[in-house]
């Protein structure tokens, strides 16, 4: 009996010695991605779409065997669009969950807070949606990469559009309405910078700064009407943009001024939430469009997202989709998700074909700023019911070359 027990003990010890390393190896074969997206409130749809698109990309990649022998895994925590809370989540991801990448966030205020955690911990942070140029300019740090347009690129495209417009429909006065934090201020400063850079003459007749997620824009709307700008630039986004348009329409604002929102105003959420109420002729753009470019890749992406979720994607979805593709491509090149410095090098200069790319262009990450470089299209609202519940989509596109939208090398110094 003693011999039998001894044999069992020896067998158990041997099994432990053999199986324990195998269990560790199995755990190591997962690429953990720590996401922080808002899942409630006005920004909640952005978070929902981002998580769905990221998981769609992960399912595609894992379904093909993963990358370099690893499977991808997304962990998401509701950021509540709050910087302090998101910093706490990011630190927990790093210290307890042992994530390989920080990922996502919608608000630029959250992005600016999380990038500091990324810098201090030397943990790569893939920014998928927030757009403040500060993250890739004066707040640049080597472990941050952004896979969607920043505000400078959007405002450069907007300035070029307004320059062309002045040749056919002369205008002279301009005003701005945008959220009173980094993202909103960056847009306005960068639009003025680019109008000056491109030699456009203009006079500012008003600046209006509602708080993020403001419930009532009436005072701002009446002030805009009183100030009579030819062009009203909007830096509002998401539910704020929808609320402003709905509240301004009864005042006839859009019959009095040309409304132009080149960064986030053309998001599908605006079209789906306003339906036939959305005025025609608004000048809008966003970081992805369901009906541009009309490529097989973009149509397939939109179709897959709709099949998976039952709704058409906002631009936030494509940013998250792009972020997963970037991580997979970097890990495939390096061979593992733990060699951070090698992953940084793999991401720098990476070429990555995305749904928003026309057939003749491939997005790439600028190695100097870690900002993705992309083509941008600006359109106007036209009647289109092909993407219900929207009754309006963008059309009459003007397309701007990616390299024409980049800031000059001394841009950060000029800001100071």
Residue 415's pLDDT is 53
For residue 289, the 8-state DSSP code is B
Residue 42's pLDDT is 87
Third-level CATH fold of 152-291+376-415: Rossmann fold (3.40.50)
239 within 8 A of 267, measured Cβ to Cβ: no
CATH H-level superfamily of 28-150+294-373: Response regulator (3.40.50.2300)
Which distant-in-sequence residues (6+ apart) come within 8 Å of 409 by Cβ? none
Range(s) within the chain of domains with CATH label 3.40.50.2300: 28-150+294-373, 152-291+376-415
pLDDT, one tens digit per residue, over 109-157 is 999 999 999 999 999 999 999 999 999 999 999 999 999 999 999 999 9
**Backbone region of residue 252 per phi and psi (left: phi > 0; alpha: psi in -120 to 50; beta: other values):** left
pLDDT, one tens digit per residue, over 4-34 is 445 544 444 444 544 544 444 445 599 999 9
Average pLDDT over residues 71-77: 98
| Calpha distance 310→301 (Å, rounded) | 13
Average pLDDT over residues 77-85: 94
* Of 274, 283, 220, 276, residue with least CA distance to 254: 283
| Res. 414: pLDDT tops 80 | no
Radius of gyration of the chain from its Cα atoms, rounded to whole angstroms: 24
What share of the chain has pLDDT > 70, as a percent?
92
What is the reported pTM? 0.90
| Res. 416: pLDDT tops 70 | no
* Of 351, 287, 330, residue with least CA distance to 129: 287
Taking all residues of the chain, what is their mean pLDDT, rounded to a whole number? 93
For residue 131, the 8-state DSSP code is -
Residue 409's pLDDT is 79
pLDDT, one tens digit per residue, over 325-367 is 999 999 999 999 999 999 999 999 999 999 999 999 999 999 9
205 within 8 A of 226, measured Cβ to Cβ: no
């Amino acid at each position: 009996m003693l011999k039998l027990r001894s044999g069992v003990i020896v067998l158990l010890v041997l099994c432990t010695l053999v199986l324990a390393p195998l269990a560790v190896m199995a755990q190591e074969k997962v690429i953990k991605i720590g996401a922080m997206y808002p899942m409630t409130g006005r920004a909640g749809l952005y978070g929902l779409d981002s998580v769905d698109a990221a998981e769609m990309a992960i399912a595609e990649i894992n379904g093909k065997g993963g990358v370099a022998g690893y499977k991808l895994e997304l962990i998401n925590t509701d950021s509540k669009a709050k910087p302090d809370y998101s910093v706490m989540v990011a630190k927990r991801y790093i210290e307890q969950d042992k994530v390989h990448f920080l990922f996502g966030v919608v608000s630029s205020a959250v992005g600016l807070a999380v990038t500091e955690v990324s810098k201090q911990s030397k943990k790569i942070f893939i920014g998928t949606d927030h757009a403040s140029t500060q993250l890739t300019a004066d707040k640049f740090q080597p472990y941050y990469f952004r896979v969607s347009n920043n505000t400078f690129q959007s405002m450069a495209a907007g300035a070029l559009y307004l320059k062309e417009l002045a040749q056919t429909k002369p205008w002279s006065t301009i005003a701005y309405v945008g959220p009173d934090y980094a993202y909103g201020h960056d847009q306005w400063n960068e639009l003025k910078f680019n109008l000056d850079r491109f030699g456009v003459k203009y006079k500012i007749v008003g600046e209006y700064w509602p708080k993020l997620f403001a419930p009532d824009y009436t005072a701002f709307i009446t002030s805009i009407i009183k100030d009579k700008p030819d062009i009203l630039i909007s830096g509002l986004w998401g539910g704020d943009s929808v609320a402003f348009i709905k509240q301004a329409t009864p005042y006839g604002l859009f019959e009095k001024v040309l409304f132009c929102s080149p960064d986030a105003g053309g998001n599908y959420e605006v079209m789906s939430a306003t339906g036939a109420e959305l005025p025609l002729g608004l000048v809008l753009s966003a970081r992805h469009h369901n009906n541009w470019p009309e490529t097989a890749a973009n149509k397939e992406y939109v179709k897959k997202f709709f099949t998976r979720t039952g709704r058409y994607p906002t631009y936030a979805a494509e940013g998250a989709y792009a972020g997963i593709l970037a991580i997979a491509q970097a890990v495939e090149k390096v061979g593992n998700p733990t060699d951070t410095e090698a992953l940084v090098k793999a991401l720098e200069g990476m070429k990555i074909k995305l749904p928003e790319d026309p057939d003749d262009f491939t997005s790439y990450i600028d190695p100097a700023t870690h900002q993705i470089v992309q083509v941008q299209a600006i359109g106007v609202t036209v009647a289109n019911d092909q993407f219900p519940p929207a009754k309006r989509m963008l059309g009459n596109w003007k397309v701007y070359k990616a390299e024409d939208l980049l800031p000059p090398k001394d841009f950060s110094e000029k800001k100071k």
